[in-house]
Structure 1
């Protein structure tokens, strides 16, 4: 069955779709001995696909892995870091880290803690981070001060950041310190703009102290039966994988960008 080359490369854990596009544009991918072009389709079962002269063999396709990680503070959500900071991949066994093509799905700020998905399913990653995809993410956020209901309502309705209004959000108070110096909020978002929670809180006059992501859709760090400790991870359950695959299934197979 023919599929776009960037999708094939992402499914094999070679690169994300965007990275695969760059490989193709750089002339590092060929099909049946001919340099590939962007948008080209191929059949991995019948065509000889090579990356840097090395053929992709269906038998070598890595087993798909889906993990939920409890990201600690001070760890960056990337595969490598030019500043030498620890990355989320450093928390995994070397064999998983080096051979599977696993990578984080989206990002959390270095000091933000909590739920982060890791997978080598590049096609699923593409669908989950696509702008039109909206899986809810739940955060527990400590902010300075005690925001009144009118401020929370503004947050719920959305405010303009960099010329674009944020989507409606669920925002409620969980608890407030007796002296009123800080408040714990539960915030549920269906978008993930850069440092969105911090920027909105700062704009409204209640700067963030700490952000902790507790859940991605129904996938939670803590359940009545288990609690995932910082730096630890677990395999996703079958129904959790089904949820993620179903959540992104409405997106058509279009080139990234």
Structure 2
């Protein structure tokens, strides 16, 4: 097992989920994983959009990567999501049961309204508030990871996402990391993850 690396990384806002920026040279240079992680030959398991923040797992272990990405294994991913306005019970139920986005019905999800704002560091730059429009934080747990899925789901029920932070992947949590920090998985975390992945 010594040849494998398993890293947890707290991706800041506005960082792209790859080690090189393949945008045209004329565009502004964007920050990449290389600006934060000086470990060779590890690759992200799944992705987070440039405008999303939070937990990423990187590894050079292909079997783990496949099992965490393949939808058939249905590994949970939990997000804290700040939305515009205050979703009612009907909207929450709609998200829980699955919504149609781009002709596809999402799998059932766990969705709860957070009573208090979660303990997150301020975003840089901050979201654009509209004084007359309240915001709400939701906790959403999915077992699939389609492109921009959370944003499309909340938009589909009429509550656009303002800020999106992934806080958990399977048994792995963002706790103890600050934006831009990474660490290796502990032996216990890896053991539990391996058991969950069935390998």
Q: Tell me, yes or no, whether TM beats 0.5.
A: yes
Structure 2 residue 68 is the aligned partner of structure 1 residue 92 = no
Partner in structure 1 of residue 164 of structure 2: 211
Give 1:238's aligned residue: 187
Q: Could you say what the CA RMSD is over the residues aligned between the two structures, in angstroms?
A: 2.1
Q: Tell me which residue corresponds to 2:127.
A: none
Whole-angstrom distance in 1 between the partners of 2:133 and 2:140: 19
Judge conservation of contact 1:146–1:180 (CA < 8 Å) in 2. no
TM-superposed CA distance for 1:131, in Å, is: 2.1
8 Å CA contact retained: 1:136, 1:190? yes
**Contact conserved, 1:114 with 1:214, CA < 8 A, in 2?**
yes
1:245 CA displacement: 2.1
Cα deviation, 1:87-118, whole Å, max 9, x if unaligned, reads: 2233112xx23xxx111110001011111001
Indicate if the aligned counterparts of 1:70 and 1:115 stay in contact, CA closer than 8 A: yes
Matched, 1:154 2:100: no
Deviating 4+ runs (over 3 angstroms):
none
Higher relative contact order (Cα pairs below 8 Å, separated by 6+ residues): 2
What pairs up with 1:179-190 in 2 under 5 angstroms?
181-190=134-143
Counterpart Cα distance in 2 of 1:242 and 1:62: 14
Shift of 1:249: 2.6
Aligned-pair CA distance for 1:164: 2.0
Alignment match of 1:111 (pick from 42, 47, 51): 51
The answer to whether the Cα contact below 8 Å between 1:67 and 1:119 also exists between their aligned partners in 2 is yes
Point out the structure with max Rg over C-alpha: 1
Q: Write the mapping of 1:1-257 to structure 2, written as runs, cut at 5 A.
A: 63-83=3-23, 84-93=29-38, 96-97=39-40, 101-175=41-115, 181-222=134-175, 227-249=176-198
The structure with the greater share of residues assigned to helix is: 1
Aligned residues: 181
TM-score, structure 2 as length reference = 0.84
**Separation (CA, whole Å) in 2 of partners of 1:200 and 1:129:** 20
Deviations 1:44-67 (A, max 9, x none): xxxxxxxxxxxxxxxxx9821101
Structure 2 unpaired stretches of 5+: 24-28, 118-131
Instruction: Provide structure 1 residue ranges, at least 5 long, that are not aligned to the other structure.
Output: 1-60, 251-257
Distance 1:199 1:69 in 2: 25
Given the two structures, how large is their TM-score scaled by the length of structure 1? 0.66
Q: CA deviation at 1:176?
A: 7.0
- Pairwise CA distance, 1:221: 1.1
